[in-house]
Amino acid sequence: MLRCESARVCVDSVSRRREVRVPFAILNRSSANPILTRRDIPDVPPRIVDVSSVFNPGAAFWRGRYFLLLRVQTRGRETVLMVAESGDGERFSVRPSIVNIDGLESVGARIFHVYDPRLTAIDDCVYVVFAADTDGGCRLGIARTVDFESFELVSFGANDDVRNGVLFPERLNGRFVRLERPNRVALDSGVTTGSEIVLAASDDLVDWEPVGSVMTGRWHYWDELIGSGPPPVKTREGWLHVYHGVATHLNAGIYQAGVVLLDLHDPTKVIARGRNNILEPRELYEHVGQVPNVVFPSGMIVEGFDAEGFARADSVVRLYYGAADTVVGLATSTIAELIDACRE
């Protein structure tokens, strides 16, 4: 692995990854950051023309290619999903089409926005868990794709106001499991948010039952409000999970990323939780934008797994995040470094 003593650009001769290594950093930002901006979004007239922003992507490594499912916002402040594809995980090209989720038109709720997709490959499909704003609050929908061309709806949440849903990559005790974040905290702005991540289980991805609380926000510190980032990754030491935390005690909320390790058999048990954030707004594109001071981790790609399906300690981790609700950033680390960060 590369080690640099001072902040500079390093090129890994094997993968050609370009990253900016900063001493003591757990995550190193790509020197190509922001890797996607509104200028990379092709027009798809009449709806998609000269868009305002692109952020909070879901990510998957699928059949040898890197995919991002982007949250693209128009100047009408409408949100659509678009697919970006890459051979190296860093240089993406965005397909000139809007993702249509077949079946979403018949859920019986008025949907204003579909956003913040999280991607999990299970068996031979990639599942997308997305948030949908409706008259009754935010709902979680699940769609699936095999080719990133067509997407079909699997289920749509009934009543609960909930966001930041992420599916585990395998069933536990024969059931699908996901983390989700109920919206139980009302902000002065009228927006509802939350400070607890819970585990839910399902036999069919349609009906979900609560299993228990996983973790809550830590008031006065970096992660007062919390929500899942990308789906958890199975490691020998537990489920490695990146989440976002919001410090609300400063003038405006600051969105950061942190790590937690959950028990492999019972993910409601926290084995270790990092004390500090591992990524916070520091670059101009993270400080300035539609919503200032936001890093919002939403996609993570790990390719190095052993024969039993555990992520290898030395595997590179690519973390994709929304910056200031305006652009997409990439930062890299390794499984071992992220696990160490949980124990700090």
Residues that bind ligand BMA (CB under 6 A): 56, 115-116, 193, 255, 291, 294, 296, 322, 325
**Nearer to ligand BMA among residue 182 and residue 322 (C-beta):** 322
CB of 296 to ligand BMA, least distance (A): 4
CB of 216 to ligand BMA, least distance (A): 17
Interacting residues of 128 by C-beta distance below 8 A, sequence separation 6+: 58, 69, 101, 117, 118, 119, 142, 143, 144, 145, 151
Percent helix, strand, coil in the chain, to 5, is: 5, 50, 45
Interacting residues of 76 by C-beta distance below 8 A, sequence separation 6+: none
CB of 109 to ligand BMA, least distance (A): 19
**Nearer to ligand BMA among residue 21 and residue 244 (C-beta):** 244
**Nearer to ligand BMA among residue 201 and residue 278 (C-beta):** 278
Q: From the CA atom positions of the chain, what is the Rg in Å?
A: 19
Place of tokens 């499991």: 177
**Nearer to ligand BMA among residue 21 and residue 118 (C-beta):** 118
Burial class (CB in 10 A: 0-12, 13-18, 19+), 250: exposed
Interacting residues of 93 by C-beta distance below 8 A, sequence separation 6+: 40, 84, 85, 86
**Nearer to ligand BMA among residue 286 and residue 325 (C-beta):** 325
CB of 325 to ligand BMA, least distance (A): 5
**Nearer to ligand BMA among residue 261 and residue 319 (C-beta):** 319
CB of 22 to ligand BMA, least distance (A): 24
CB of 56 to ligand BMA, least distance (A): 5
Amino acid at 150: S
Residue nearest to ligand BMA (CB): 291
Closest CA to 108 of 147, 61, 157: 157
Q: What are phi and psi of 300, to 5 degrees?
A: -145, 130
